[in-house]
Amino acid sequence: MFGDLVIYRVHALRRMFERAISEPDIRRVLNSGEEIETYSLDQPYPSRLLLGFVKTMPIHVVAAYNATDDQTIIVTVYRPDPLRWTADFRTRRCS
């Protein structure tokens, strides 16, 4: 579950700019992406790694949910490296 209010951490904004990933791209991933990892011990809020596709390009979004304020916090965004992820971008390759 994610809240309607989306807050972008400075780190995420920098990565979005560097990687030409737009806010509508992020919203698309939030709305229709697939959760591929869960980080339940993250503080101050548990977060999740989502995989979504914009056109045919895969995008990973790490987002946390603040249930108290119904906020979604975007931690980082990136295009997964095919050398570090399996062909479907859902599973990390072993190092």
- The CATH number for 50's domain is 3.30.2310
Q: How does pLDDT run across 17-59, given as a tens digit for each residue?
A: 999 999 999 999 999 999 999 999 999 999 999 999 999 999 9
DSSP 94: P
pTM passes above 0.85: yes
Report how far residue 80's alpha carbon sits from residue 3's, in angstroms, rounded to the nearest whole number: 25
Domain count, the chain: 1
Question: Is it the case that residue 95 has pLDDT exceeding 70?
Answer: no
Tokens describing residue 36:
């591929």
Report how far residue 54's alpha carbon sits from residue 29's, in angstroms, rounded to the nearest whole number: 8
DSSP-H helix ranges across the chain: 10-19, 23-32
Q: Is residue 83 part of a domain?
A: no
Q: Is residue 32 part of a domain?
A: yes
Beta strands in 1-95 (DSSP E): 5-8, 34-39, 47-54, 57-66, 71-78
Question: Is it the case that residue 94 has pLDDT exceeding 90?
Answer: no
Mean pLDDT across the stretch 69-85?
A: 95
Which domain, by its residues, includes 40? 5-78
